[in-house]
Amino acid sequence: MKEKLTVVGTAYWRSYALYNAAARQERAGDIDGAEKLYVSALKADDGNRAARMNLGSLLLLSPENEQLAIAQLRRAIEDAVAAVDGGDDAVYYAASLRLASALYNAHDDQGALDVSTKLLTRVQAKLAELRKPAAITPRTAAMITRSRPTSVAPAIAHTSPPRKRALPTTMSAI
């Protein structure tokens, strides 16, 4: 059986299309239209993490929706952790940052600190993983060996030095 392609947390084209339309509306400044389209994207697929995160971010624009926005951001993070290698995707990182900021603005300093600490710990672990030297497989080593020239000297001997261009001496020459 073929595995479905999952983009922004959804494998359903309708939810993805609605998410894209919402993002366009948001960029165009139509916040109400974007909010409705994000909700429609979530109705099409409740697992669309990016739509949930962006909806939460839009809801933060209205102080009366602050708690609903925080709930949406928390859910986007939970869904990312459950769906993708422990949450190792862009939605996890962006939603965590937005949630920490929202909690801080809501005067929940401890909550903001907890989310920020988890995020920083994950970023540090990811950076440590990226700093590890990559293992070269025997196949890759063979490809590198075959593509490497045996001698660089003959190639250099047959090239002439680049000619120097004279700089213009007057403005009319430019």
* CA distances (Å), origin 80, targets 74, 91, 122, 151, 165: 10, 7, 13, 51, 58
Whole-model pTM? 0.72
**Domains in the chain, ordered, with CATH?**
1-132 (1.25.40.10)
Asked if residue 98 lies in contact with residue 116, where contact means CB atoms within 8 angstroms, the answer is: no
pLDDT at 168: 54
Predicted confidence band of residue 2 (pLDDT cuts 50, 70, 90):
very low
pLDDT at 149: 56
